[in-house]
Structure 1
Amino acid sequence: MGEARVWHGGDLDEARRLFPRAPEPWIDLSTGINPIAYPVPALPASLFARLPSPADHLDLEAAAAQAYGATDAAMVVAAPGTQVLISLLPHLRGRGRVAVFGPTYAEHAHSWRKAGHDVVEVQSLDLLDRGDVAVVVNPNNPDGRLIGREALLRLAEDLRPRGGWLVVDEAFADFDAGESLVPVLPSNVIILRSFGKTYGLAGLRIGFALAPEPVVTSLRSALGPWAVSGPAIETGRTALRDREWLEAARGARAADASRLDALLSSVAGAPLRGTILYRLLESIRAPELFQVLGEHGIWVRRFQYSPHLLRFGLPRDEAEWQRLETVLGRYSQH
């Protein structure tokens, strides 16, 4: 019997399988990726022809440390995407009890369980300190729930006496960063940060862990040399140091999120939630809406644990906005 499949966004092959008569091109709103990507700098051919140097790799980590507010670049580990780090962390300590604050990004519980840990998904912050490891996505995917810094610091302190870890996935914190633990990183906390979502360059596969020295050492060993490609290093460090672009993108995407809320309000059965990069709609009619959108070539994210939820990413351009508005308008009137 095979492993249970974990659903993810961005799978247009699945969209075309479910809706073979839908018009092309598809509008993919199923991910939480910035639809307006950072402009990739001109890259010299030599980046593709040689292995990246250790100095370049360290410079990428230094750029990440500065961007995220870390006190020391030595606490930063660059990896080919945060998913790799999520998969590696469960192998860095003996099997134990892991509490995941859910519902949330399913790969966390899946990865710890696959590595042999006893995983429980809890829906109360007060229950997280009962495990050897606590996992929190902050802001949460998909509902945008945000846990305050002081509450997380108390949780880390409760875990400390038994050598427990607090893993905080801050994949969407670049645009919703008020409660990041990076600047005050306790010695038993591991922070994960995503590059591709904020900068719209998910295909580059860059992610970071910010962690205490023993975890940093173990992650570097597990990743091995040349974990991040030369072109990714060059693009990543350029983008991370471009604070002007980040601030402009934050404002523009916040305006887009407000525009999306206005469109979705006519079909939502409850207040909309989420982050700047995606909005979560709850309605008993969500399965019907998913079907209608799919038939019109608009792919949104549904969830295994609740048929009443749909997550909408941001349209890329005015043509996509107009297609979405037309379909939602017709749907809300019938």
Structure 2
Amino acid sequence: MLKFLFDTIFMVKVAYNDAPQPWQLGFQDGGSPSIEGIVELHDQVMFYLVIILLGVGWMLGSTIRKFNSNHNQIVHKYHNHGTLIELIWTITPALVLIAIAFPSFKLLYLLDEVIDPVITVKAIGNQWFWTYEYSDYVNDTGETIEFDSYMIPDTDLEPGQLRLLEVDNRVILPVDTHIRFIVTARDVIHSFAVPSLGLKLDALPGRLNQTSAIINREGVFYGMCSELCGVLHYGMPIVIESVSLESYLLWLSSQNSPPEQHEVIVGSLLGDMSAVKPNFCHYKSFYVQRIICHTENTAMLELADKCDLGSRG
């Protein structure tokens, strides 16, 4: 019942357009500034590549057509070196590479730089599932939000779900929030990749890699482990669900709560904010305070005051 309520609430107005489509040749619909920058750089590079392809193709075709033994009997005659043409075909490619390099360096810097994130999510690769930790949030008992995410077998799929892409536990994140992803692995090398968000980071045992993203719309974003990691490599899908800030905070409040409170907490997602106040106050985190300071919801601001989480001031 709990899973049905969560699916019903979070799947409203969500279209499955952030996953691979049959016969798809282009990028998936972008859901973050990162992938938008990647697509823009791709289009810019393709502009130069098309011009180069047409130019080189025209020269090659002209050479084959004009300089062959049937039309030109001096095809094998030695010619003097042309200094000008050699300078042109040396300097021009260098200028093209410079024109491509500068925007790519800028994008690479923006993708790698992680400045003042609001939320940190740790993704741990295992054979063959993912473990996620929301280590920013610690309640009064010292527990953090942590769960495993397994692929749903074909026999358990419901109508409308995507084969080999659905998981039992999704990563829930708020929109318009700076999120840091820390990626590692417990056994072999994995890779955390969500194409529609522009995320791809190697998960190496004993090492932490990080990247960041800002999800700019609500939706469901699908990814996969993109590093061959064993016989069940295909069984490590990644599903990130972006929700509104208020829904995210309410989801936080439902974690680590007693089972008898689940129905009440899920019901609060429909509007009854008071039902989750006691459990929400467990997460007295600086990060929760920062999230609160970005919301316009009056009820959430009142909740922050009652939990002594601070205010906008």
User: How does the TM-score come out when normalised to structure 1?
Assistant: 0.23
Larger RCO (alpha carbons 8 Å, 6+ apart): 1
User: How does the TM-score come out when normalised to structure 2?
Assistant: 0.24
Give the structure with higher Rg (CA): 2
Structure with the largest fraction of strand: 2
